[in-house]
Amino acid sequence: MPEVRRDVKPVEVNYLCDKCESGMVICTDQSSAAAKRPHKCVICGEHYEFDKIYPKIVYVPSE
Ligand SMILES: [Zn+2]
Q: Report yes or no on 1 lying in a domain.
A: no
Residue 42 lies in domain: 8-61
Instruction: Using alpha carbons, list the distances in angstroms from residue 40 to 9, 51, 62.
Output: 27, 14, 31
Number of domains in the chain: 1
**pLDDT over 90 at 63, yes or no:** no
pLDDT in tens, 21-52: 999 999 998 886 778 999 999 999 999 999 99
Q: Report yes or no on 3 lying in a domain.
A: no
Rounded CA-CA distance 52/43 in Å is 20
Q: Report yes or no on 22 lying in a domain.
A: yes
pLDDT at 1: 84
Q: Report yes or no on 43 lying in a domain.
A: yes
Q: Report yes or no on 2 lying in a domain.
A: no
Q: Report yes or no on 42 lying in a domain.
A: yes
Q: What is the pTM of this model?
A: 0.77
Ligand 1 centroid to Cα of residue 2, in Å, is 48
Ligand 1 centroid to Cα of residue 26, in Å, is 11
